[in-house]
Chains A and B, each alone.
Chain A
Amino acid sequence: MTSTMDFGTTSQTATLAAERYLKEVAPHLAALAPEERADLLEDLAQHLREIAAEPGPPLNERLGSPEAYAAELLASAGVEAARHPEPPFLSRVSAVVDGARSSWIGQEAVRMWPFLRPAWWVVRAYLAVSLLSALERNGSYPGFPLPRLAGSPALGLLGVVVAIPLSVRLGQRHLFRSGRLAVIGANVVLALFAISLLGRAGTPEIRYVDYSDQAPSRSADRGCLGTAAGERITNLYAYDAQGRLLDPVLLYDQNGQPIDNLCPEFDDQGRRLATEYSQDVNGAPVINAFPRRQSAIVQPERRPMGPGQPLTTLSVQPGATVPVKPPAVVVPRLTSTTVPTPTTATTTTAVLPA
Protein backbone atom coordinates (compact mmCIF):
# COMPACT_ATOMS: atom_id res chain seq x y z
CA MET A 1 0.00 0.00 0.00
CA THR A 2 1.37 3.37 -0.93
CA SER A 3 1.64 6.10 1.62
CA THR A 4 -0.22 9.32 1.08
CA MET A 5 3.09 11.08 0.53
CA ASP A 6 4.04 9.28 -2.67
CA PHE A 7 0.49 8.96 -3.88
CA GLY A 8 0.98 11.81 -6.37
CA THR A 9 3.88 10.20 -8.20
CA THR A 10 2.49 6.67 -7.93
CA SER A 11 -0.80 7.83 -9.35
CA GLN A 12 0.90 9.71 -12.17
CA THR A 13 3.06 6.72 -13.08
CA ALA A 14 -0.04 4.53 -13.03
CA THR A 15 -1.93 6.95 -15.24
CA LEU A 16 0.92 7.12 -17.72
CA ALA A 17 1.24 3.33 -17.82
CA ALA A 18 -2.52 3.01 -18.34
CA GLU A 19 -2.48 5.57 -21.13
CA ARG A 20 0.40 3.85 -22.87
CA TYR A 21 -1.33 0.50 -22.77
CA LEU A 22 -4.65 1.98 -23.88
CA LYS A 23 -2.97 3.63 -26.84
CA GLU A 24 -1.75 0.24 -27.97
CA VAL A 25 -5.13 -1.42 -27.44
CA ALA A 26 -7.08 1.31 -29.26
CA PRO A 27 -6.06 0.47 -32.86
CA HIS A 28 -7.28 -3.11 -32.37
CA LEU A 29 -10.76 -1.83 -31.58
CA ALA A 30 -11.05 -0.13 -34.95
CA ALA A 31 -13.80 -2.49 -36.08
CA LEU A 32 -16.23 -0.94 -33.61
CA ALA A 33 -18.72 1.72 -34.55
CA PRO A 34 -17.08 5.12 -33.78
CA GLU A 35 -19.49 5.99 -30.98
CA GLU A 36 -19.23 2.58 -29.36
CA ARG A 37 -15.46 2.74 -29.67
CA ALA A 38 -15.20 6.17 -28.07
CA ASP A 39 -17.48 5.06 -25.23
CA LEU A 40 -15.50 1.86 -24.67
CA LEU A 41 -12.13 3.65 -24.75
CA GLU A 42 -13.23 6.21 -22.20
CA ASP A 43 -14.49 3.53 -19.83
CA LEU A 44 -11.48 1.32 -20.48
CA ALA A 45 -9.12 4.20 -19.64
CA GLN A 46 -10.62 4.36 -16.17
CA HIS A 47 -10.46 0.59 -15.78
CA LEU A 48 -6.79 0.45 -16.82
CA ARG A 49 -5.90 3.27 -14.42
CA GLU A 50 -7.44 1.24 -11.61
CA ILE A 51 -5.39 -1.82 -12.56
CA ALA A 52 -2.19 0.16 -13.04
CA ALA A 53 -2.61 1.64 -9.56
CA GLU A 54 -2.66 -1.88 -8.02
CA PRO A 55 0.77 -3.09 -6.98
CA GLY A 56 2.19 -5.68 -9.33
CA PRO A 57 4.25 -6.25 -12.46
CA PRO A 58 3.94 -3.95 -15.51
CA LEU A 59 0.63 -3.92 -17.36
CA ASN A 60 1.99 -5.80 -20.37
CA GLU A 61 2.87 -8.73 -18.10
CA ARG A 62 -0.37 -8.61 -16.16
CA LEU A 63 -2.73 -8.17 -19.06
CA GLY A 64 -0.89 -9.78 -21.94
CA SER A 65 -0.32 -8.18 -25.31
CA PRO A 66 -2.59 -5.24 -26.16
CA GLU A 67 -3.73 -7.06 -29.27
CA ALA A 68 -4.79 -10.16 -27.34
CA TYR A 69 -6.43 -7.95 -24.72
CA ALA A 70 -8.48 -6.18 -27.39
CA ALA A 71 -9.51 -9.48 -28.97
CA GLU A 72 -10.56 -10.95 -25.62
CA LEU A 73 -12.44 -7.79 -24.75
CA LEU A 74 -14.32 -7.71 -28.05
CA ALA A 75 -15.28 -11.36 -27.66
CA SER A 76 -16.58 -11.00 -24.12
CA ALA A 77 -18.16 -7.56 -24.32
CA GLY A 78 -20.47 -8.63 -27.15
CA VAL A 79 -20.10 -5.22 -28.75
CA GLU A 80 -21.37 -4.58 -32.20
CA ALA A 81 -18.86 -4.05 -34.94
CA ALA A 82 -19.50 -1.16 -37.30
CA ARG A 83 -22.05 -2.12 -39.89
CA HIS A 84 -20.64 0.37 -42.34
CA PRO A 85 -17.04 1.36 -42.61
CA GLU A 86 -16.36 4.81 -41.21
CA PRO A 87 -16.95 7.49 -43.86
CA PRO A 88 -13.62 8.89 -45.10
CA PHE A 89 -14.39 12.34 -43.70
CA LEU A 90 -15.04 10.99 -40.20
CA SER A 91 -11.96 8.80 -40.26
CA ARG A 92 -9.90 11.82 -41.27
CA VAL A 93 -11.44 13.79 -38.40
CA SER A 94 -10.64 11.02 -35.92
CA ALA A 95 -7.10 10.80 -37.33
CA VAL A 96 -6.69 14.54 -36.68
CA VAL A 97 -8.19 14.17 -33.18
CA ASP A 98 -5.92 11.18 -32.42
CA GLY A 99 -2.94 13.15 -33.71
CA ALA A 100 -3.82 16.13 -31.52
CA ARG A 101 -4.25 13.88 -28.49
CA SER A 102 -0.87 12.27 -28.95
CA SER A 103 0.93 15.58 -29.49
CA TRP A 104 2.74 17.14 -26.56
CA ILE A 105 0.07 19.80 -26.06
CA GLY A 106 -2.65 17.18 -26.41
CA GLN A 107 -1.03 14.96 -23.80
CA GLU A 108 -0.64 17.91 -21.44
CA ALA A 109 -4.30 18.80 -22.00
CA VAL A 110 -5.37 15.20 -21.33
CA ARG A 111 -3.23 15.17 -18.17
CA MET A 112 -4.56 18.55 -16.96
CA TRP A 113 -8.17 17.86 -17.84
CA PRO A 114 -9.13 16.09 -14.57
CA PHE A 115 -7.93 19.14 -12.63
CA LEU A 116 -9.56 21.66 -14.95
CA ARG A 117 -12.93 19.92 -15.06
CA PRO A 118 -14.23 21.26 -11.70
CA ALA A 119 -13.34 24.80 -12.82
CA TRP A 120 -15.34 24.29 -16.00
CA TRP A 121 -18.29 23.01 -13.96
CA VAL A 122 -18.35 26.28 -12.01
CA VAL A 123 -17.88 28.41 -15.13
CA ARG A 124 -20.63 26.63 -17.02
CA ALA A 125 -23.06 27.18 -14.12
CA TYR A 126 -22.37 30.90 -14.37
CA LEU A 127 -22.74 30.77 -18.16
CA ALA A 128 -26.01 28.86 -17.92
CA VAL A 129 -27.52 31.55 -15.68
CA SER A 130 -26.14 34.27 -17.99
CA LEU A 131 -27.70 32.52 -20.97
CA LEU A 132 -31.02 32.30 -19.13
CA SER A 133 -30.72 36.00 -18.37
CA ALA A 134 -29.90 36.86 -21.99
CA LEU A 135 -32.89 34.80 -23.22
CA GLU A 136 -35.15 36.52 -20.71
CA ARG A 137 -33.92 39.89 -21.93
CA ASN A 138 -34.41 39.08 -25.61
CA GLY A 139 -30.75 38.49 -26.24
CA SER A 140 -29.41 41.67 -24.74
CA TYR A 141 -26.29 41.63 -22.60
CA PRO A 142 -27.04 39.69 -19.39
CA GLY A 143 -25.15 41.98 -17.03
CA PHE A 144 -21.67 41.77 -15.59
CA PRO A 145 -20.34 40.50 -13.26
CA LEU A 146 -23.72 39.26 -12.15
CA PRO A 147 -26.31 38.23 -14.70
CA ARG A 148 -29.71 39.71 -13.94
CA LEU A 149 -32.69 37.45 -13.48
CA ALA A 150 -36.06 39.20 -13.69
CA GLY A 151 -34.02 42.40 -13.77
CA SER A 152 -32.35 41.73 -10.43
CA PRO A 153 -28.64 41.03 -9.89
CA ALA A 154 -29.52 39.49 -6.50
CA LEU A 155 -31.73 36.88 -8.17
CA GLY A 156 -28.92 36.35 -10.67
CA LEU A 157 -26.51 35.67 -7.81
CA LEU A 158 -29.00 33.26 -6.27
CA GLY A 159 -29.31 31.53 -9.65
CA VAL A 160 -25.53 31.11 -9.91
CA VAL A 161 -25.29 29.84 -6.32
CA VAL A 162 -27.96 27.21 -7.04
CA ALA A 163 -26.56 26.30 -10.46
CA ILE A 164 -22.99 25.58 -9.30
CA PRO A 165 -23.75 22.49 -7.12
CA LEU A 166 -26.15 21.19 -9.80
CA SER A 167 -23.46 21.55 -12.44
CA VAL A 168 -20.83 19.88 -10.24
CA ARG A 169 -23.15 16.97 -9.46
CA LEU A 170 -23.90 16.58 -13.15
CA GLY A 171 -20.17 16.58 -13.84
CA GLN A 172 -19.46 13.88 -11.25
CA ARG A 173 -22.21 11.60 -12.38
CA HIS A 174 -21.49 8.79 -14.78
CA LEU A 175 -23.99 9.19 -17.61
CA PHE A 176 -25.32 6.87 -20.25
CA ARG A 177 -24.42 7.66 -23.80
CA SER A 178 -27.54 9.68 -24.60
CA GLY A 179 -27.16 11.70 -21.39
CA ARG A 180 -23.51 12.30 -22.11
CA LEU A 181 -24.28 13.47 -25.65
CA ALA A 182 -26.88 15.89 -24.24
CA VAL A 183 -24.31 17.27 -21.77
CA ILE A 184 -21.69 17.63 -24.51
CA GLY A 185 -24.25 19.48 -26.65
CA ALA A 186 -25.13 21.82 -23.77
CA ASN A 187 -21.43 22.43 -23.07
CA VAL A 188 -20.86 23.40 -26.70
CA VAL A 189 -23.83 25.82 -26.59
CA LEU A 190 -22.49 27.41 -23.39
CA ALA A 191 -18.96 27.67 -24.80
CA LEU A 192 -20.30 29.40 -27.95
CA PHE A 193 -22.37 31.70 -25.76
CA ALA A 194 -19.24 32.56 -23.74
CA ILE A 195 -17.43 33.43 -26.97
CA SER A 196 -20.32 35.68 -28.02
CA LEU A 197 -20.16 37.41 -24.61
CA LEU A 198 -16.43 38.00 -25.02
CA GLY A 199 -17.07 39.39 -28.49
CA ARG A 200 -19.55 41.87 -27.11
CA ALA A 201 -17.51 42.84 -24.08
CA GLY A 202 -15.70 45.56 -26.01
CA THR A 203 -18.73 47.26 -27.53
CA PRO A 204 -19.98 50.52 -26.08
CA GLU A 205 -23.35 48.90 -25.35
CA ILE A 206 -22.12 47.64 -22.01
CA ARG A 207 -20.15 50.67 -21.00
CA TYR A 208 -22.59 51.80 -18.39
CA VAL A 209 -19.93 53.88 -16.74
CA ASP A 210 -17.72 55.71 -19.12
CA TYR A 211 -14.22 56.54 -17.96
CA SER A 212 -11.53 57.84 -20.16
CA ASP A 213 -7.97 58.74 -19.42
CA GLN A 214 -7.74 61.00 -22.40
CA ALA A 215 -7.21 64.63 -21.68
CA PRO A 216 -10.06 66.95 -22.54
CA SER A 217 -9.81 68.12 -26.08
CA ARG A 218 -11.83 70.22 -28.45
CA SER A 219 -15.16 68.69 -29.25
CA ALA A 220 -14.68 68.67 -32.98
CA ASP A 221 -11.87 66.10 -33.15
CA ARG A 222 -13.94 63.07 -32.18
CA GLY A 223 -17.32 64.13 -33.41
CA CYS A 224 -18.41 65.08 -29.92
CA LEU A 225 -21.28 67.47 -29.54
CA GLY A 226 -19.81 70.82 -28.60
CA THR A 227 -20.72 74.38 -27.91
CA ALA A 228 -20.07 77.18 -30.35
CA ALA A 229 -17.03 78.03 -28.24
CA GLY A 230 -15.62 74.53 -28.83
CA GLU A 231 -16.29 73.20 -25.34
CA ARG A 232 -17.58 69.70 -25.06
CA ILE A 233 -21.21 69.25 -24.17
CA THR A 234 -21.27 66.64 -21.44
CA ASN A 235 -24.99 66.43 -20.81
CA LEU A 236 -28.29 67.78 -22.10
CA TYR A 237 -31.13 69.21 -20.04
CA ALA A 238 -34.58 69.85 -21.44
CA TYR A 239 -37.06 72.17 -19.74
CA ASP A 240 -40.66 72.84 -20.47
CA ALA A 241 -42.12 76.33 -20.87
CA GLN A 242 -42.71 76.53 -17.14
CA GLY A 243 -39.06 75.93 -16.43
CA ARG A 244 -39.53 72.35 -15.17
CA LEU A 245 -36.74 69.92 -15.91
CA LEU A 246 -37.97 67.10 -18.17
CA ASP A 247 -36.51 63.82 -17.04
CA PRO A 248 -36.07 61.78 -19.07
CA VAL A 249 -36.39 63.01 -22.64
CA LEU A 250 -35.35 61.00 -25.67
CA LEU A 251 -33.54 63.07 -28.27
CA TYR A 252 -33.31 62.35 -31.98
CA ASP A 253 -31.81 64.24 -34.88
CA GLN A 254 -33.56 65.27 -38.12
CA ASN A 255 -33.06 61.72 -39.50
CA GLY A 256 -34.53 60.04 -36.48
CA GLN A 257 -31.10 58.91 -35.32
CA PRO A 258 -30.71 58.94 -31.54
CA ILE A 259 -28.43 61.71 -30.41
CA ASP A 260 -25.63 60.10 -28.49
CA ASN A 261 -22.45 61.80 -29.60
CA LEU A 262 -21.72 63.43 -26.30
CA CYS A 263 -18.32 62.86 -24.84
CA PRO A 264 -18.92 63.07 -21.14
CA GLU A 265 -15.40 62.30 -19.98
CA PHE A 266 -14.42 65.48 -18.17
CA ASP A 267 -16.35 68.42 -16.88
CA ASP A 268 -15.25 71.99 -17.46
CA GLN A 269 -13.09 71.86 -14.36
CA GLY A 270 -11.16 68.93 -15.78
CA ARG A 271 -12.67 66.43 -13.33
CA ARG A 272 -13.40 62.98 -14.66
CA LEU A 273 -17.06 62.18 -15.05
CA ALA A 274 -18.72 58.83 -14.38
CA THR A 275 -21.83 58.54 -16.51
CA GLU A 276 -24.70 56.19 -15.91
CA TYR A 277 -27.02 55.57 -18.78
CA SER A 278 -30.75 55.01 -18.43
CA GLN A 279 -31.81 51.47 -19.17
CA ASP A 280 -34.72 50.02 -21.06
CA VAL A 281 -36.94 47.28 -19.58
CA ASN A 282 -34.45 44.68 -20.78
CA GLY A 283 -31.61 46.41 -19.00
CA ALA A 284 -29.97 47.66 -22.20
CA PRO A 285 -28.58 51.19 -21.97
CA VAL A 286 -30.61 53.91 -23.69
CA ILE A 287 -27.96 56.20 -25.05
CA ASN A 288 -30.19 59.09 -26.07
CA ALA A 289 -32.10 59.49 -22.80
CA PHE A 290 -31.28 62.74 -21.08
CA PRO A 291 -30.26 64.06 -18.69
CA ARG A 292 -27.69 61.35 -17.98
CA ARG A 293 -26.82 60.70 -14.34
CA GLN A 294 -23.30 61.86 -13.83
CA SER A 295 -20.91 62.28 -11.00
CA ALA A 296 -17.56 63.99 -11.00
CA ILE A 297 -14.68 62.02 -9.58
CA VAL A 298 -12.77 64.18 -7.21
CA GLN A 299 -9.03 63.69 -7.16
CA PRO A 300 -7.25 64.42 -3.90
CA GLU A 301 -5.91 67.90 -3.78
CA ARG A 302 -2.19 68.09 -3.96
CA ARG A 303 -0.81 71.03 -2.11
CA PRO A 304 2.81 71.96 -2.14
CA MET A 305 4.48 70.68 0.98
CA GLY A 306 6.28 73.21 3.05
CA PRO A 307 7.67 73.51 6.53
CA GLY A 308 5.01 73.70 9.18
CA GLN A 309 2.36 72.27 6.89
CA PRO A 310 0.74 68.88 7.31
CA LEU A 311 2.00 66.28 4.85
CA THR A 312 -1.31 65.95 3.11
CA THR A 313 -4.28 68.19 3.25
CA LEU A 314 -7.34 66.59 1.77
CA SER A 315 -10.60 68.37 1.54
CA VAL A 316 -12.34 65.23 0.29
CA GLN A 317 -11.59 61.53 0.32
CA PRO A 318 -9.54 60.44 -2.69
CA GLY A 319 -11.75 59.09 -5.42
CA ALA A 320 -14.91 60.53 -3.88
CA THR A 321 -17.64 61.34 -6.35
CA VAL A 322 -19.84 64.38 -6.44
CA PRO A 323 -23.15 64.09 -8.30
CA VAL A 324 -23.45 66.58 -11.11
CA LYS A 325 -26.49 68.79 -10.54
CA PRO A 326 -28.65 70.19 -13.33
CA PRO A 327 -27.64 73.74 -14.23
CA ALA A 328 -29.61 76.66 -12.89
CA VAL A 329 -31.40 78.07 -15.88
CA VAL A 330 -33.92 80.80 -16.42
CA VAL A 331 -36.25 79.85 -19.22
CA PRO A 332 -37.55 82.62 -21.42
CA ARG A 333 -41.24 83.28 -21.33
CA LEU A 334 -42.76 82.01 -24.52
CA THR A 335 -45.76 83.38 -26.31
CA SER A 336 -48.70 81.03 -26.57
CA THR A 337 -48.49 80.65 -30.36
CA THR A 338 -46.17 78.03 -31.69
CA VAL A 339 -43.80 78.20 -34.59
CA PRO A 340 -45.11 76.08 -37.51
CA THR A 341 -41.75 75.67 -39.22
CA PRO A 342 -38.43 77.23 -38.54
CA THR A 343 -38.40 78.95 -41.96
CA THR A 344 -41.47 81.11 -41.31
CA ALA A 345 -41.23 84.41 -39.56
CA THR A 346 -40.59 84.34 -35.87
CA THR A 347 -43.52 84.81 -33.60
CA THR A 348 -41.51 85.69 -30.57
CA THR A 349 -40.74 89.36 -30.54
CA ALA A 350 -37.53 90.36 -29.07
CA VAL A 351 -37.39 93.80 -27.77
CA LEU A 352 -33.91 94.98 -28.16
CA PRO A 353 -32.61 97.62 -25.87
CA ALA A 354 -32.29 100.91 -27.60
Chain B
Amino acid sequence: MDTTQLLKGVLDLAVLAVVRDEDGYGYDIVRRLRLAGLDDVGDASVYGTLRRLYQAGALKSYVVASEEGPHRKYYGATPAGHDLYESWIKKWRGFAEAMDVLIDAPERKTA
Protein backbone atom coordinates (compact mmCIF):
# COMPACT_ATOMS: atom_id res chain seq x y z
CA MET B 1 0.00 0.00 0.00
CA ASP B 2 1.22 3.45 -0.92
CA THR B 3 2.26 5.37 2.19
CA THR B 4 1.17 8.66 0.64
CA GLN B 5 -2.42 7.42 0.79
CA LEU B 6 -2.03 6.81 4.52
CA LEU B 7 -0.31 10.14 5.04
CA LYS B 8 -3.16 12.06 3.47
CA GLY B 9 -5.48 11.39 6.34
CA VAL B 10 -3.00 12.11 9.10
CA LEU B 11 -0.90 14.92 7.72
CA ASP B 12 -2.87 17.60 9.58
CA LEU B 13 -2.18 15.87 12.85
CA ALA B 14 1.46 15.22 11.95
CA VAL B 15 2.08 18.86 11.01
CA LEU B 16 0.42 20.15 14.18
CA ALA B 17 2.49 17.69 16.18
CA VAL B 18 5.78 19.10 14.90
CA VAL B 19 4.86 22.77 15.32
CA ARG B 20 2.94 22.51 18.58
CA ASP B 21 6.04 23.11 20.71
CA GLU B 22 8.37 24.84 18.33
CA ASP B 23 7.57 27.07 15.37
CA GLY B 24 9.19 26.17 12.09
CA TYR B 25 9.41 27.21 8.45
CA GLY B 26 8.18 25.09 5.56
CA TYR B 27 11.32 23.20 4.70
CA ASP B 28 12.21 22.74 8.37
CA ILE B 29 8.79 21.18 9.04
CA VAL B 30 9.26 18.72 6.17
CA ARG B 31 12.67 17.82 7.58
CA ARG B 32 11.28 17.25 11.07
CA LEU B 33 8.53 15.00 9.69
CA ARG B 34 11.08 12.96 7.75
CA LEU B 35 13.38 12.74 10.77
CA ALA B 36 10.42 11.38 12.74
CA GLY B 37 10.15 8.57 10.20
CA LEU B 38 7.63 9.81 7.66
CA ASP B 39 10.10 9.41 4.81
CA ASP B 40 7.62 9.68 2.00
CA VAL B 41 6.15 12.98 3.04
CA GLY B 42 6.16 15.39 0.08
CA ASP B 43 6.91 19.07 0.25
CA ALA B 44 3.81 19.99 -1.74
CA SER B 45 1.53 18.09 0.67
CA VAL B 46 3.12 19.65 3.72
CA TYR B 47 3.04 23.10 2.20
CA GLY B 48 -0.61 22.66 1.15
CA THR B 49 -1.46 21.43 4.64
CA LEU B 50 0.29 24.38 6.27
CA ARG B 51 -1.65 26.74 4.04
CA ARG B 52 -4.97 25.09 4.79
CA LEU B 53 -4.35 24.98 8.56
CA TYR B 54 -3.28 28.61 8.44
CA GLN B 55 -6.45 29.62 6.62
CA ALA B 56 -8.51 27.66 9.13
CA GLY B 57 -6.89 29.64 11.95
CA ALA B 58 -5.06 26.68 13.47
CA LEU B 59 -1.67 28.13 12.57
CA LYS B 60 -0.16 31.55 12.84
CA SER B 61 2.51 32.67 10.43
CA TYR B 62 5.23 35.30 10.41
CA VAL B 63 8.22 36.12 8.28
CA VAL B 64 11.72 36.12 9.72
CA ALA B 65 14.53 37.87 7.88
CA SER B 66 17.54 35.66 7.37
CA GLU B 67 21.04 36.94 6.79
CA GLU B 68 22.04 33.80 4.96
CA GLY B 69 19.26 33.56 2.43
CA PRO B 70 15.71 34.50 1.60
CA HIS B 71 13.26 35.45 4.35
CA ARG B 72 11.61 32.49 5.99
CA LYS B 73 7.97 32.11 6.72
CA TYR B 74 7.51 30.50 10.11
CA TYR B 75 4.41 28.68 11.27
CA GLY B 76 3.31 28.01 14.82
CA ALA B 77 0.18 26.61 16.45
CA THR B 78 -2.48 29.05 17.61
CA PRO B 79 -4.61 28.24 20.71
CA ALA B 80 -7.25 27.00 18.25
CA GLY B 81 -4.55 24.82 16.70
CA HIS B 82 -3.68 23.33 20.09
CA ASP B 83 -7.37 22.56 20.73
CA LEU B 84 -7.66 20.98 17.31
CA TYR B 85 -4.56 18.93 18.00
CA GLU B 86 -5.97 17.58 21.30
CA SER B 87 -9.25 16.58 19.70
CA TRP B 88 -7.48 14.90 16.77
CA ILE B 89 -5.20 12.97 19.10
CA LYS B 90 -8.25 11.43 20.77
CA LYS B 91 -9.68 10.49 17.39
CA TRP B 92 -6.34 9.13 16.24
CA ARG B 93 -5.86 7.03 19.38
CA GLY B 94 -9.32 5.55 18.99
CA PHE B 95 -8.67 4.88 15.30
CA ALA B 96 -5.23 3.38 15.89
CA GLU B 97 -6.54 1.09 18.62
CA ALA B 98 -9.32 -0.09 16.36
CA MET B 99 -6.79 -0.75 13.59
CA ASP B 100 -4.51 -2.60 16.01
CA VAL B 101 -7.38 -4.77 17.10
CA LEU B 102 -8.29 -5.49 13.51
CA ILE B 103 -4.75 -6.30 12.58
CA ASP B 104 -3.89 -8.30 15.66
CA ALA B 105 -7.16 -10.27 15.86
CA PRO B 106 -6.40 -12.79 13.09
CA GLU B 107 -2.91 -13.24 14.46
CA ARG B 108 -4.35 -14.12 17.87
CA LYS B 109 -6.75 -16.58 16.25
CA THR B 110 -4.00 -18.30 14.36
CA ALA B 111 -1.66 -18.26 17.35
Determine if B69 and A73 form an interchain contact, defined as CB atoms under 8 angstroms apart.
no
* Bound: A53/B71 CA distance, A: 10
User: Which residues of B, 60-85, contact A by the 8 Å Cβ criterion?
Assistant: 61-63, 67-73
Determine if A44 and B68 form an interchain contact, defined as CB atoms under 8 angstroms apart.
no
The answer to whether the Cβ of A343 comes within 8 Å of any Cβ in the partner chain is no
B85 → A minimal CB distance (Å) = 18
Interface residues on B, range: 20 to 34
| A119-130 near B? 1/0 per residue, CB < 8 Å | 000000000000
A178 → B minimal CB distance (Å) = 13
Most chain B CB inside 10 Å of its own CB: which residue of A2, A40, A51, A79: A51
| A8-29 near B? 1/0 per residue, CB < 8 Å | 0011001100000000000000
The answer to whether the Cβ of B94 comes within 8 Å of any Cβ in the partner chain is no
* Bound: A218/B71 CA distance, A: 67
User: Which residues of A, 273-292, contact B by the 8 Å Cβ criterion?
Assistant: none
In the complex, the number of residue pairs spanning A and B with C-beta atoms less than 8 Å apart equals 87
User: Which residues of A, 61-76, contact B by the 8 Å Cβ criterion?
Assistant: 62-64, 68-70, 72-76
* Bound: A15/B71 CA distance, A: 12
The answer to whether the Cβ of B44 comes within 8 Å of any Cβ in the partner chain is yes
* Bound: A50/B8 CA distance, A: 24
* Bound: A75/B46 CA distance, A: 11
* Bound: A11/B11 CA distance, A: 31
The answer to whether A43 and B63 touch (CB under 8 A), given A1-B68, A2-B68, is: no
The answer to whether the Cβ of A301 comes within 8 Å of any Cβ in the partner chain is no
Determine if A62 and B71 form an interchain contact, defined as CB atoms under 8 angstroms apart.
no
The answer to whether A4 and B67 touch (CB under 8 A), given A46-B73, A76-B48, A77-B51, is: yes
Give the residue name and chain of the A residue nearest to B56 (CB).
A78
User: Which residues of A, 43-64, contact B by the 8 Å Cβ criterion?
Assistant: 43-44, 46-47, 49-51, 53-54, 62-64
Determine chain A's interface SS by DSSP, over half rule.
Answer: helix
Among candidates A14, A43, A47, A70, residue contacting B69 with C-beta atoms closer than 8 Å: A14
The answer to whether A47 and B42 touch (CB under 8 A), given A73-B47, A77-B48, is: no
* Bound: A70/B45 CA distance, A: 10
Which residues of B sit under 8 angstroms from A72, Cβ to Cβ?
Answer: 42, 44-45, 48
Determine if B48 and A74 form an interchain contact, defined as CB atoms under 8 angstroms apart.
yes
B51 → A minimal CB distance (Å) = 5
Determine if B48 and A54 form an interchain contact, defined as CB atoms under 8 angstroms apart.
no
Determine if B69 and A11 form an interchain contact, defined as CB atoms under 8 angstroms apart.
yes
Give the residue name and chain of the A residue nearest to B62 (CB).
A174
| B29-42 near A? 1/0 per residue, CB < 8 Å | 00000000000001
B53 → A minimal CB distance (Å) = 10
Among candidates A10, A51, A75, A172, residue contacting B48 with C-beta atoms closer than 8 Å: A75
The answer to whether the Cβ of A7 comes within 8 Å of any Cβ in the partner chain is yes
A32 → B minimal CB distance (Å) = 12
Determine if A53 and B63 form an interchain contact, defined as CB atoms under 8 angstroms apart.
no
Residues of A within 8 A of B (CB): 1-2, 4, 7, 10-11, 14-15, 40, 43-44, 46-47, 49-51, 53-54, 62-64, 68-70, 72-79, 172, 174
